[in-house]
Amino acid sequence: MAISNDKEFKSALAGLSASQQRQVAARFVQRVFVLSGDVRVKAALDFAARADITDADLTVVSQAANSARVESFTQCGKETDWTAQGGHFVAKAAVACVKAAEPADNLAWEAAMQARMARTCETVATGEGTENTEAEEQYRILEAFLNS
Amino acid sequence: MNDMQFLTWVRGTGLDIAVSIFVLGVLWRLFEIYSLGRKADISAARSVSGASGWHTIFRRSVPPEGMLKRSPVSYIGGYIFHIGLAIVVFLFAPHILLIKNLTGLSWPGLPSQFIDLAAVVTMAAMVVVLVDRINKPVKRYLSTFGDWFAWTLTFLPVLTGWMAVQHLVLPYTTMLALHILTVELLLIFLPFTKLFHAFTVFGSRWYIGKINGHKGVAV
Amino acid sequence: MSASLEKGVRVLKEVIDAPIASYFSSCVHCGLCAEACLFYTETGDPKYTPIHKLEPLRRLYEQEYTLLGRLGKLVGLSKPVTDDELEEWKELVYNSCTLCGRCSAVCPVGNDIVYMVRKFREGMSASGHAPEGIIGAVNRTVTIGSPMGVKLPAVKAQMKHVEEDYGLPIPLDAEGAEYMVMLSSMEIINFPEYLAAIAKIMHQAGKTWTLCSTAFEATNAGMQIGNSDLAKLLVMRIVDGAEKLKVKTVISPECGHAYTALRWEGANLIGRPFTFKVQHIIEVLGEFQEQGLLKTEGFETDKLTFHDPCQLARRGGVIKQQRNLMNMVSKNFVEMPDAGYMNWCCGGGGGASAIEEGEELRMEAFKKKKSQLDVVKPDRLVTACANCRIVLEEGLEHYQMDIPVLGLTELIAEHIPDQTSEKGA
């Protein structure tokens, strides 16, 4: 199927199982991982990409990813380093990938949104403004995942 | 100078000097402080009933939530000796007589045994708060010569007055003269030490009540 | 901005007024202010006693404004305020004070200690003794226009993010809108969810609103460091924006000190009353709730508790609204001990969290918040200040407490049924 807008994107994601959502979410976040580089984020993404992850594994990487998220906040009054702030959203996206899933959650959508925010931070940092093609790239990833 | 001359002096000249310095000192200090004024607050006020300077003057006498157990001696000891002082000063017949001679006003006093008890309780409370000031790290850290001096200035009149009534240690005339002298010292120094809070507490509470009342917070 | 001791002393002499004189004259060294201050209660170090944080100002007051003090100065008996002393006081006035105001709440003689610390900071700043972390914010405000270096592109990034996620457009520079929404730097940078929540709520309430391209930021570094000129500059920007767009109300975001700076200091800084109302977002939500404009669905069932941001509740007078809002969407809302007016500070406000050297102290002080949470044992913690959120998360992380933190505005918005809208506001 071809995905051409966010409505289709979101509902296609919602139709996936939690495990499938984690796998595709990990691919979204992988695209922006370079903005973070944090080993805990990497660990979370590696685990999320696997189809056979256990709840115990999830808990461990979840905690680590959350620490990465909390540590990368920009403090009130500090100068904003937009590239670093992108890293914060990458961590946030990784947290979405490995959090315990409630029935109504669309954690892949959450991860996708945070990944887009990370990309936007990067383009703000390089002075290119807010336009980027991250959404379209995510559609392509999802299409490829569904077809495989 | 013998006992009678000493007593006559403190009752006469001494009292005149002390009261003059006291009155002038109080007026001067009030002027010195409050003439500095305050800029008007032109932010839009939020009016909430019960939030004003006047309310705070009274409400601030009640310990805020959770504070009593953090420092019971400060509150309980403080209340006891303040109230005790008020009872001894204003409800003891000889004092009321003195005030009547000075101002014409008078009111019924309390039986002397009651005043005696009040004096003892006041002194005990004052000793407790003094010990607390020495023992508690924060109080000790903050305390300066002014604190010990103020305590002494306040304690001595109660002690000497009580001793005079009990006819302890020194002959009555001497003890009474000493008592009046210590009161005069208290009067002279009051406006220029932390004891002046007796007057400024109303202004301070009023200001904080008003400034916060403007925001609709009842403090 | 050249700083000097002379300048600092001059500024301090100017800020001393009748209230300050009355307060210094009333202090009886009872030490109760220390018992209310989390920096003292969690460290046991008496140097953090609030009134002690003002010692240089007290001496200056004596030497300049009392007869005996001036006489003492004349005969060389007084100890002047020096650069070294002010440098030593930097930690006391900034690192260990968040302007939370608990000290003022308990002083038995009615001393408004936080009022005095706020003024003392003016002298500290003018004499060059403010912490580096905050000086940076001040410089950035002057050169870039924003304490944290936030510019319009960043706001537009958020707007785009929100529009994608929710399908709700964000109005920018819409003249005649009823509400002008301000964001704190922290929200622009760290919490884009806040803007989304606002969009959803305003849409449901049917209110017109807008962001302003020249005045989107509410954070006032001038107020934190104690530089009234700067604080005034930042407020003026907002006033110009609001008047240009002819809005009725400016909404101050989930940030404590931004509210204090705009709502209470603003008019006094610019020297004239505002021609518009200023409300904290929680006040606005409270109003919407009362007027029946907030229609929520469903309830959170896990155990929630609320942390009152100091500048909102104790210092700002917004205390009941957050509770009413919590009860609207939660079946299991439990108050922490000392909740409301006497709640304990998160430990990071007033610029404190920007001071790196102060981190260890803040973590110590956090034990107080931890002790409140240990009593309630909530599943999640709700608050209404972006800085409190981060400080709380860091503290919880440090003490390995697994309690997610969320913002009240977002929580309310989560319970508003999704409407992907065809039209904007």
Give pLDDT tens digits for C7-21.
999 999 999 999 999
- Which parts of C167-319 fold into alpha helices (H)? 185-190, 193-205, 221-225, 228-245, 256-259, 266-270, 281-290
| Predicted local confidence at residue C2, as pLDDT | 66
Instruction: Indicate the DSSP class of residue B60.
Output: T
Starting at the edge strand that comes first in sequence, how are the strands of the sheet with C179-181 ordered? C209-210, C179-181, C249-252, C277-280
C134 in contact with chain A, both atoms CB, cutoff 8 A = yes
Distance between CA atoms of C176 and A39, rounded to whole angstroms? 50
Contact A124 C157 (CB under 8 A): yes
Residue A39: CB partners within 8 Å, gap ≥ 6? none
Distance between CA atoms of C338 and C253, rounded to whole angstroms? 24
Q: Specify whether the CB–CB gap between C109 and B206 falls below 8 A.
A: no
C346 in contact with chain A, both atoms CB, cutoff 8 A = no
C26 Cα distance to chain centroid: 28
Domain definitions of chain A by residue range: 14-147
Distance between CA atoms of C119 and C219, rounded to whole angstroms? 19
By CB atoms closer than 10 A (0-12, 13-18, 19+), residue C237 is middle
pLDDT tens for C153-187 read 888 877 887 887 778 889 999 999 999 999 887 77
Chain B residues with CB inside 8 Å of C317's CB?
46, 48, 215-217
C414 in contact with chain A, both atoms CB, cutoff 8 A = no
Chain A: give the shortest CA distance to residue C71, in Å.
43
Give the closest of C16, C115, C317 to B46, CB-based.
C317
Residue C124 has pLDDT above 50, yes or no: yes
Range with the poorest average pLDDT among A121-125, B20-24, C145-149, C380-384: C145-149
Residue C54 has pLDDT above 80, yes or no: yes
The ipTM is 0.96
Check residues A6 and B56 and name the one with the higher pLDDT. B56
Give the closest of C28, C52, C337 to B197, CB-based.
C28
Contact C148 A80 (CB under 8 A): yes
Contact C21 B66 (CB under 8 A): no
C357 in contact with chain A, both atoms CB, cutoff 8 A = no
Contact A70 C161 (CB under 8 A): no
Neighbours of chain B (3+ CB pairs under 8 A): C
Contact C51 B142 (CB under 8 A): yes
Contact C157 A75 (CB under 8 A): no
Chain C residues with CB inside 8 Å of B61's CB?
108
Check residues A101 and C408 and name the one with the higher pLDDT. C408
Chain A residues with CB inside 8 Å of C345's CB?
none
Q: Specify whether the CB–CB gap between C23 and C53 falls below 8 A.
A: no
Residue C425 has pLDDT above 50, yes or no: no
Task: Characterize the bridge pairing of strands C277-280 and C209-210.
Answer: unpaired
Token duo for residue A86: 């992108």
Chain B: give the shortest CA distance to residue C263, in Å.
7
The total of other beta-carbon atoms located within 10 Å of residue C132's CB is: 12
Instruction: Identify the residue whose tokens are 């407020």.
Output: C235
**Chains B and A, touching by 3 or more CB pairs within 8 angstroms:** no
Distance between CA atoms of C386 and C253, rounded to whole angstroms? 9
Tell me which residue of C211, C201, C270, C199 sits closest to C245, measured CA to CA. Answer: C211
Length of chain B: 219
| Predicted local confidence at residue A103, as pLDDT | 76
Domains of chain C: 5-129 (1.10.1060), 152-288 (3.40.50.1860), 304-414 (3.40.50)
C291 φ, ψ (degrees, to nearest 5)? -85, 0
C244 in contact with chain B, both atoms CB, cutoff 8 A = no
Q: For residues B120-127, give the mean pLDDT.
A: 98
Asked whether the CA dihedral C155, C159, C161, C162 is positive or negative, the reply is: positive
Strand, coil or helix: C110:
coil
Chain B: give the shortest CA distance to residue C260, in Å.
10
Chain B: give the shortest CA distance to residue C101, in Å.
11
Chain B residues with CB inside 8 Å of C35's CB?
67, 70-71, 138
Q: How confident is the model at residue C282 (pLDDT cuts 50, 70, 90)?
A: very high
SS (H, E, C) C334-398: CCCCCCHHHCCCCCCCCCHHHCHHHHHHHHHHHHHHHHHHHHHCCCEEEECCHHHHHHHHHHHHH
Cα distances from A106 to residues C127, C171, C317, in angstroms, run 54, 28, 39
The total of other beta-carbon atoms located within 10 Å of residue B198's CB is: 13
Check residues A3 and C84 and name the one with the higher pLDDT. C84
B139 in contact with chain C, both atoms CB, cutoff 8 A = yes
Range with the poorest average pLDDT among A86-90, C46-50, C136-140, C406-410: C136-140
Residue C424 has pLDDT above 60, yes or no: no
Interface test with B, best of C14, C16, C20, C29 (most B CBs within 10 A): C29
pTM metric for this prediction: 0.91
**Chains C and A, touching by 3 or more CB pairs within 8 angstroms:** yes
Distance between CA atoms of C277 and C285, rounded to whole angstroms? 15
Give the closest of A80, A88, A120 to C149, CB-based.
A80
Instruction: Indicate the DSSP class of residue C175.
Output: T
Q: Specify whether the CB–CB gap between B109 and B89 falls below 8 A.
A: no
Residue A104 has pLDDT above 80, yes or no: no
Instruction: Identify the residue whose tokens are 């302007």.
Output: C99
Range with the poorest average pLDDT among A9-13, B68-72, B77-81, C334-338: A9-13
Q: For residues B183-199, give the mean pLDDT.
A: 97
| Predicted local confidence at residue C264, as pLDDT | 93
Distance between CA atoms of B217 and A27, rounded to whole angstroms? 52
Distance between CA atoms of C251 and C32, rounded to whole angstroms? 36
Tell me which residue of B107, B108, B116, B197 sits closest to B162, measured CA to CA. Answer: B116
Contact C133 A77 (CB under 8 A): yes
Chain C residues with CB inside 8 Å of B37's CB?
17-18
| Predicted local confidence at residue A129, as pLDDT | 67
The total of other beta-carbon atoms located within 10 Å of residue C334's CB is: 15
Cα distances from A53 to residues A48, A92, A111, C287, C341, in angstroms, run 7, 20, 18, 47, 47
Q: Specify whether the CB–CB gap between C113 and C51 falls below 8 A.
A: yes
Token duo for residue C420: 């992907």
Residue B44 has pLDDT above 90, yes or no: yes
Strand, coil or helix: C277:
strand
Q: For residues B72-97, give the mean pLDDT.
A: 96
Contact B37 C18 (CB under 8 A): yes
Q: How confident is the model at residue B121 (pLDDT cuts 50, 70, 90)?
A: very high
Interface test with A, best of C94, C146, C160, C355 (most A CBs within 10 A): C160
Length of chain C: 425
Tell me which residue of C110, C21, C317, C31 sits closest to B57, measured CA to CA. Answer: C110
> Which helix (H) or strand (E) covers residue C406, if one does?
strand C405-407
Distance between CA atoms of C109 and B65, rounded to whole angstroms? 16
Tell me which residue of C372, C376, C408, C373 sits closest to C389, measured CA to CA. Answer: C408
pLDDT tens for A5-55 read 888 888 899 889 888 999 999 999 999 999 998 999 999 999 999 888 888
Contact C17 B39 (CB under 8 A): yes
Give the closest of C137, C153, C387 to A129, CB-based.
C153
B204 in contact with chain C, both atoms CB, cutoff 8 A = yes
Distance between CA atoms of C26 and C23, rounded to whole angstroms? 5
Contact C32 B71 (CB under 8 A): yes
Instruction: Identify the residue whose tokens are 């984690």.
Output: A22
Torsion of CA C396, C399, C403, C405, to 10 degrees: 0
